[in-house]
Structure 1
Amino acid sequence: MVTSRVTARQYGLLAYPLILSGLLTPLLGITDTIVIGQTGDSIAIGAIAIGAVFFNTIYWLFGFLKVSTTGFSAQASVHQDETALYFALYRPALLGLLIGLVLMLFRDPLTAGGLYLLAAPETLLTDVTTYIGYRMYGAPFVLIGYAVLGWLIGQGQVKRALLIQVLSNIINIILDVVFVLGLGYGVAGVAIATLVAEISIVAFGFLFMFRQLAWKPDYRGLLFHVRAYRQFFTVNADLFVRTIFLLLVTGWFTRTGANFGPDVLSANAILLQIQYLIAYWFGGLGSASTILVGRSRGRHDEVGYLKNVRLTRQFGLGSILLMMILLVVFQHPLLRAFSADPVLLDFASLYYGWIVVFPLTGGFAMLYEGIFSGLTQAKPVRNSMMQAFVVFGLLLLSINWIGNHGVWLAFIGFGLMRSSSLHLAERRMNMKFEKMDKKTDLPV
């Protein structure tokens, strides 16, 4: 058995660019919210905030395209199987294209259902529908982009993945400023800017990978070989179910908060944007674990696997403390970046404490999801989400009498249940390796 010991420094050098890469993922929607917030148009601010949550939620549903691609790509790189390496990208990219086209085809019922779940007020419907209408054309590019970024990250080409995202965000920021603050196109300008940025991710991705990828005549048959998708769908079916329950929680959370008025709805939408930033921070750490755990699995290196899990926990604890401190110190500038409306800021500040607590209760869930993705085992992730959904529902129904604070308390309970369930699942899984780990010196 070949082992590869990873030090804390090596883990950090891999993890930090992935954290930045993760933070850049939701930045397109967040930039939209920030730029439109500078106009002082409260209706446009609310519409963009709800529209961004709509797309973040939809794309979370298909996030398995990036997560599982990272795991399969990491394992293929260890085996040095050229065909497996190429198809770790080709198959999810094809699926992303097909799913994106289906989303475009059914954009009207999806928009209607999404706005119902998000309880969008009538005053916002025109603007939020415009925003969603333009951005929906980017769905195939977003999902193909997930496969591209996941493949690069699995190969350890984090700098390339990061550069692609940085370039797309620069394009988005420039176009946002030109279309909104310069030309006054408002919500439509914001949406078009983001659409162009989403297309650019795929364009840059294939431009950078052009020389790495090869196409042979017999690949066409392999690409459409139904049996070859069995493992991919087996893993991703569980991730898909997991994300459906996450979607249900987000919709239930938003609709319940909307019962307390449009100001609370908009404040919750802004806080959810911050929550997405936190989630992607921990998702970046989780991606580092996916790569290292995937390589350990490919080498059948149980000792290396245990070492990587230990490093994940250490960096997770450090990130939780750092994130909570940053959230407290930068509360006011962070909120003001999203809106200049003093009433909306007051409502957001009222419930901001729950966002400070979120990393402590929900952070480890995303780290463990990275570990299980590296193992290409998604059932524990699915089960944890289903259990957390039950906890969320029970809490929400029993404490909704305390208002929007009760909604956030239920959400915190949801994150805590996810983290606890996945921690126990991981401990059960590696228990048989504990004796081997104790006999081995593993310097950090």
Structure 2
Amino acid sequence: MADTAAALTHRRVLTIALPIVLSNATVPILGAVDTGVVGQMGLAAPIGAVGIGAIIITGIYWIFGFLRMGTTGLTSQAHGAGNRGEVDAMLSRALMVGVGAGLAMILLQIPLFWAAFQLSPASAEVEGMARSYMGIRVWSAPAAIAIYGITGWLIALERTRAVLVMQLWMNGVNILLDLWFVLGLDWGVEGVATATFLAEWSGAALGLWLCRDAFAGAGWKDWPRVFDRARLKHMARVNSDILIRSLLLQAIFISFLFFGADFGDVPLAANQILLQFLAITAHALDGFAFAAEALVGQALGAKARDALRRGALLTSFWGLICVIALAGAFAVFGGQIIDIMTTAPEVRAEARQYLIYMTFAPLIGLAAWMFDGIFIGATRTADMRNMMAISFVVYGVALAVLMPLYGNHGLWLALLISFAARGLTLGARYPALEASVD
């Protein structure tokens, strides 16, 4: 029996979660360096070009985030069942999907980028630079998307320190090459793109090396197993459910931004700043949600109901500790954080009006984040899709009722209600998840 037979302890949860929290903390640093080095050129257009280009590329990559989640759930279950051959075969399937999706993105780059600029138009100068940036970065799409699969596979096996090493390597290489290519060689926007291109390919290579034990056996190249129709169909169903769920979730946040724009530039800017509080919350809770994915998946694979329940409870306990700390920090230091993010007095004042929602957001959103991890680990993705659809409708009704009455306050209330709806609806499905373990 795999690791599910080992003691499920607080130490084990933290060993899985903390490297993910640290890994996520490095992500904003890279964005700041990218902006900072092009900012040294003394022109506005390169900054805008890197910003728009990065948003478009990462937005397209985000569509394939299902590969990370689906791989974690399926691999952790195989690991819990002690099926090493299937664990290694899952890595091969994930890599094939990642590389295939990346090659498709390279082939379709012209219509994809055209459509992106129709949705987010920019000046001719900025668009031209952004196209140059994306034209370089797109060639690392197979590596970048495959990394989702590698990351999911490593998390399933509780090897989150390896994930941290991979993230630190990629960000470190990217930052060093940024400085060399842009400040040293004066390559400008193309230098930033080339740095990321090389960092992503080197990160994928390092990821494969970190998974080298999988390639020592025969399971990864057991082609009848890798291409087994039933397993491929199940993988496709899991991933498509996660994709639909994620698109609905993204639609909530995009509509939040669009509706916020109707209130004017100052409320829009305030909302953008406060959304960074939610980003901090999400990055912190990811570690505990990922731990839930691994532990719940392994318990389900081992058909150990008590281990599943204990894994869900322990990871959620530490998630609760995390959100209490965040809520307290936002309540005490939220004003100072706002002041760091903007120097505009009117935006500072506006953001403070809605700061109370940031105090409650981590507490209200905890159940949604943790149940996401639990249900991903159990691959109960149809429940995730369906409960997300219900929550999307609840959000729409809340918007229709609250925005006309309370304006931007109503918009924030609707968003928090959508968090609560996700947690409550998934919570209602949890007993059936436990009952399925026999």
Structure 2 length-normalised TM: 0.83
Query: For residues 57-72 of structure 1, what are the structure 2 equivalents within 5 Å?
Result: 57-72=59-74
Task: Quote the offset at 1:18 in angstroms.
Answer: 2.7
Task: Quote the offset at 1:112 in angstroms.
Answer: 4.2
Task: Give the structure 2 partner of residue 387 of structure 1.
Answer: 390
With over 3 angstroms needed to count, the CA separation of the structure-2 counterparts of 1:354 and 1:135, relative to structure 1, is farther
Task: Give the structure 1 partner of residue 103 of structure 2.
Answer: 101
Q: Which moved more, 1:298-307 or 1:46-55?
A: 46-55
3-state DSSP class of the match of 2:215?
A: coil
Task: Quote the offset at 1:155 in angstroms.
Answer: 1.5
Check the 8 A contact 1:5/1:307 in 2, yes or no: no
Query: For residues 7-406 of structure 1, what are the structure 2 equivalents within 5 Å?
Result: 7-24=9-26, 28-29=30-31, 31-33=33-35, 48-49=50-51, 51-115=53-117, 117=119, 119=120, 122=123, 125-126=127-128, 128-180=130-182, 186-214=188-216, 216=218, 219-260=222-263, 268=271, 271-272=274-275, 275-328=278-331, 331=334, 354-401=357-404, 404-406=408-410
Hey, what's the Cα distance between the residues in 1 that align with 2:12 and 2:301?
Answer: 19
Hey, what's the Cα distance between the residues in 2 that align with 1:114 and 1:272?
Answer: 23
Q: Which moved more, 1:28-37 or 1:372-381?
A: 28-37
With over 3 angstroms needed to count, the CA separation of the structure-2 counterparts of 1:4 and 1:371, relative to structure 1, is same
Hey, what's the Cα distance between the residues in 1 that align with 2:238 and 2:367?
Answer: 21
Q: Which moved more, 1:93-102 or 1:182-191?
A: 182-191
Task: Give the structure 1 partner of residue 421 of structure 2.
Answer: 417
Check the 8 A contact 1:365/1:422 in 2, yes or no: yes
With over 3 angstroms needed to count, the CA separation of the structure-2 counterparts of 1:383 and 1:317, relative to structure 1, is same
Hey, what's the Cα distance between the residues in 2 that align with 1:145 and 1:419?
Answer: 29
With over 3 angstroms needed to count, the CA separation of the structure-2 counterparts of 1:423 and 1:344, relative to structure 1, is same
With over 3 angstroms needed to count, the CA separation of the structure-2 counterparts of 1:298 and 1:378, relative to structure 1, is same
Structure 1 length-normalised TM: 0.82
Matched AA of 1:419: G
Instruction: Indicate the percent of aligned positions where both proteins have the same amino acid.
Output: 32
With over 3 angstroms needed to count, the CA separation of the structure-2 counterparts of 1:173 and 1:344, relative to structure 1, is farther
With over 3 angstroms needed to count, the CA separation of the structure-2 counterparts of 1:266 and 1:113, relative to structure 1, is farther
Structure 1, gaps ≥5 residues long: 437-444
Task: Quote the offset at 1:32 in angstroms.
Answer: 3.4
Deviations 1:319-363 (A, max 9, x none): 111122344555577567767788877776666554444322223
With over 3 angstroms needed to count, the CA separation of the structure-2 counterparts of 1:302 and 1:35, relative to structure 1, is farther
Task: Give the structure 2 partner of residue 439 of structure 1.
Answer: none
Task: Quote the offset at 1:306 in angstroms.
Answer: 1.2
3-state DSSP class of the match of 1:213?
A: helix
Matched AA of 1:145: I
Q: How big is the alpha-carbon RMSD for the aligned residues of Structure 1 and Structure 2?
A: 3.7
3-state DSSP class of the match of 1:156?
A: coil
Hey, what's the Cα distance between the residues in 2 that align with 1:65 and 1:32?
Answer: 26
Hey, what's the Cα distance between the residues in 2 that align with 1:40 and 1:337?
Answer: 22
With over 3 angstroms needed to count, the CA separation of the structure-2 counterparts of 1:321 and 1:159, relative to structure 1, is same
Deviations 1:72-122 (A, max 9, x none): 2222223333321211111011011111222233334333444555x5565
Check the 8 A contact 1:292/1:374 in 2, yes or no: yes
Check the 8 A contact 1:40/1:340 in 2, yes or no: no
Structure 2, gaps ≥5 residues long: none
Matched AA of 2:386: N
With over 3 angstroms needed to count, the CA separation of the structure-2 counterparts of 1:320 and 1:120, relative to structure 1, is farther
Hey, what's the Cα distance between the residues in 1 that align with 2:45 and 2:351?
Answer: 16
Check the 8 A contact 1:89/1:147 in 2, yes or no: yes
Task: Quote the offset at 1:416 in angstroms.
Answer: 2.3
Matched AA of 2:399: L
Deviations 1:270-291 (A, max 9, x none): 5545533432321221111111
3-state DSSP class of the match of 1:238?
A: helix
Hey, what's the Cα distance between the residues in 2 that align with 1:303 and 1:7?
Answer: 13
Matched AA of 1:65: L
With over 3 angstroms needed to count, the CA separation of the structure-2 counterparts of 1:54 and 1:255, relative to structure 1, is farther
Matched AA of 2:95: A
Task: Quote the offset at 1:169 in angstroms.
Answer: 1.2
Q: 1:430 aligns with which of 426, 434, 437?
A: 434
Check the 8 A contact 2:139/2:197 in 1, yes or no: yes
Deviations 1:211-245 (A, max 9, x none): 54147596344444444301111211211111121
3-state DSSP class of the match of 1:291?
A: helix
Task: Quote the offset at 1:370 in angstroms.
Answer: 1.0
- Which structure has more relative contact order (CA 8 Å, sep 6+)? It is 1
Hey, what's the Cα distance between the residues in 2 that align with 1:137 and 1:262?
Answer: 37
Deviations 1:117-147 (A, max 9, x none): 5x55658645555544443333221210011
Check the 8 A contact 1:392/1:414 in 2, yes or no: yes
3-state DSSP class of the match of 1:109?
A: helix
Check the 8 A contact 1:351/1:405 in 2, yes or no: yes
Check the 8 A contact 1:296/1:302 in 2, yes or no: yes
Task: Quote the offset at 1:165 in angstroms.
Answer: 0.8
3-state DSSP class of the match of 1:6?
A: coil
Hey, what's the Cα distance between the residues in 2 that align with 1:161 and 1:220?
Answer: 27
Hey, what's the Cα distance between the residues in 1 that align with 2:164 and 2:321?
Answer: 23
